[in-house]
């Protein structure tokens, strides 16, 4: 179930009005019995040619933040990945083909694609999400 807490100023194209928020329903769905939860601390896994930080790793997914100015590897053999470009621009290279990525773009690397190279055109930040099998 998903509840809308904020809609970042988006307007429903059909009505021309902001979509309804569901703050009360969201707050009632929170289980506070577990007590305080600490923020997740990033784990730096690599610094060259890219700063690779593991932000989250659980049974459902893994999430890394990648920051770099030089080409670096993304994706993995036999594993689907999702790339989200947070800052900057660049090209994802796969077998001699190039796919543009800019701020806000999301790219799906299917398991059959395997590893690729991200070639930033300057400083760039990506999120890489892996879904474990």
Q: Where are the domains of the chain?
A: 1-35, 43-130
Alpha carbons 56 and 34: distance in angstroms, whole number: 19
**Residue 65's beta-bridge partner residues?**
53, 127
- The answer on pLDDT for 123 being more than 90 is yes
Structure tokens at 36: 């305080």
Residue 8, preceding peptide bond in cis (omega within 30° of 0): no
| CATH 2.60.120.10 given to domain 43-130 | yes
CA distance 60 to 49: 28
> 100's torsion region: left (phi>0), alpha (psi -120 to 50) or beta?
beta
Q: How far apart are CA 111 and CA 52, in angstroms?
A: 21
What digits encode the pLDDT tens for the residues 35-83? 777 888 899 998 999 999 999 988 889 999 999 999 999 999 888 999 9
pTM beyond cutoff 0.85? no
Distance in angstroms (rounded) separating the CA atoms of residues 120 and 26: 38
Rounded-to-integer distance, Cα 116 and Cα 94, Å: 5
Q: Which of 16-25, 32-41, 80-89, 121-130 has the lowest mean pLDDT?
A: 32-41
Count CB atoms within 10 A of the CB of residue 84: 17
As a whole number of angstroms, the distance between CA 69 and CA 23 comes to 40
pLDDT of 103 strictly over 80: yes
pLDDT value, residue 126? 97
């Amino acid at each position: 179930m998903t509840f809308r807490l904020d809609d970042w100023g988006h307007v429903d194209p059909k009505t021309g009005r902001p979509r309804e928020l569901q703050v009360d329903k969201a707050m009632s769905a929170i289980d506070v019995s577990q007590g305080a939860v600490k923020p997740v601390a990033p784990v730096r896994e690599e610094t060259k040619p890219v700063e690779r930080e593991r932000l989250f790793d659980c049974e459902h997914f893994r999430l890394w933040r990648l920051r770099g100015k030089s080409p670096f590897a993304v994706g993995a053999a036999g594993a689907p990945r999702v790339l989200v470009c947070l800052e900057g621009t660049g090209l994802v290279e796969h077998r001699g083909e190039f796919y543009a990525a800019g701020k806000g773009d999301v790219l799906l690397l299917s398991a059959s694609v395997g590893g690729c190279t991200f070639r930033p055109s300057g400083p760039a930040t990506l999120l890489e999400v892996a879904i474990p099998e």
